[in-house]
Amino acid sequence: MRADLKRRSMLAATVMTVPLLTAACKGVGGLGTRPKAGPDVAMLQGAIDTEQALIARYRLAIAGSPGLARTLSPLLAQHREHLARLTSMLIEPASPSATPRSSPSSSAPVGNGSDPSATLAGLETAETDAASSLTGRLALAPPALAQLLASIAASEASHALLLRAHGAGG
Amino acid sequence: MTASPGPATAGPATTGPATTDPAPSGLTLSGAATGGTAAALQAALAAENAAIYGYGVVGGQLGTAARNRALRDWTQHEVARDQLEAMLTSLGVKPVAAQPAYQLPFPVHGTSAAISLAGYLEDRVAAAYLGIVALDNSRLRVWAAAQARACALRATTWLGRTAAFPGLSSGSGRAAAAGPSASP
């Protein structure tokens, strides 16, 4: 399966790399015509953006509520695993910039650190939204990516369950 | 690979996931697609049969409250089994039969081992559902993804921890995973 993922990413990356090289040969003027990423790459990039946004939220939450670190750190570590696995499917850097291009679940409040239960509730919503977002990408994904997205979505749904349990005083 | 925010034997005291995702109805498949679809559905059915057997073992080792939780999960696996059997029948394929007994992956004596077995069973069933997610039928994909999610939620409720890659974490791939293997 891992080999299958790699093969797919090679194919996907080839689609992106060749036009970029062509553009480079034309000099600076050619850079204006940056090729559109293929649908697989765009889907993968969307999932990567989702994970980056979640990682940022967890870091912020832990900084604001250090008392929650014991609960949140293992979940943050799993998001880093998600991000690494997704990024490994791209040969190109995950994103031209190191920061997330978008924050798919930015509508949910993350909590300001003074209220741990609000922080937990905000993260729970963000996890649920992220799982839904990944599930929504399933239908059009190539098989190996679909399996990875489904597994990550299941992981994030279970994160939400755990956060809810902790928020309830568990 | 796993996060463990709480004691291993104390799962979150929440109610379990509601898993009443209806099976995709009106399955229409081309002849060429049917072979792979049937194989993936059969693998999931075999995993569900193993889990149903396994939950019987789990329940036998638990006190009343936890045994009720096992009973609830056992019922959810029976519902999923029935859905898989109906889908296979609609494809004109005979569903695989449950084995009379299954080899357990480790000795199960006492509460802790029973809870570990429940977590193990859920991961194996999730792996089998990811085999269906790899199919080209988008409705089946979404349904199987919901089933894999339900497995992950049940596992988290039992174990009190989450996995980064439910169904993929043990590395044995997808549809081949069928939980405990049949014993003679």
Q: What is the pLDDT of residues B13-58, one digit of tens each?
A: 333 444 456 666 555 554 555 789 999 999 999 999 999 999 999 9
Does residue A159 surpass a pLDDT of 90?
A: yes
Q: Report the alpha-carbon distance of residue B145 to residue A132 in Å, rounded.
A: 11
B130: nearest CB among A139, A140, A150: A150
Q: Determine the average pLDDT of the residues in A113-117.
A: 75
At A90, the pLDDT band (50, 70, 90 cuts) reads: confident
- Following DSSP, what letter does each residue of B13-47 receive, concatenated? -SPPP---PPPPPS----HHHHHHHHHHHHHHHHH
Q: Report the alpha-carbon distance of residue A164 to residue A124 in Å, rounded.
A: 7
Does residue A31 surpass a pLDDT of 70?
A: no
How high is the pLDDT of residue A36? 57
The conformation of residue B92, written as its DSSP 8-state character, comes to: T
Buried b (16+ CB within 10 A) or exposed e, A93-127: ebeeeeebeebbbeebebbebeebebbbbbbbbbb
Q: Report the alpha-carbon distance of residue A79 to residue B162 in Å, rounded.
A: 11
Q: Determine the average pLDDT of the residues in A120-143.
A: 95
B149: nearest CB among A1, A153, A168: A153
Dihedral pair phi/psi, residue B2, rounded to 5°:
-115, 150
Does residue A81 surpass a pLDDT of 60?
A: yes
How high is the pLDDT of residue A168? 80
Contacts of B13 in chain A (CB under 8 A): 165, 168, 170
- Asked whether the beta carbons of B176 and B43 are under 8 A apart, the reply is yes
Burial class (CB in 10 A: 0-12, 13-18, 19+), B37: buried
The complex scores an ipTM of 0.81
B141: nearest CB among A138, A161, A166: A138
Contacts of B17 in chain A (CB under 8 A): 161
pLDDT under 50 in chain B at which residues?
A: 1-19, 30, 171-184
Q: Which two tokens stand for residue A38?
A: 């293929």
CB of B142 within 8 Å of a chain A CB? The answer is: yes
Q: Report the alpha-carbon distance of residue A97 to residue A104 in Å, rounded.
A: 17
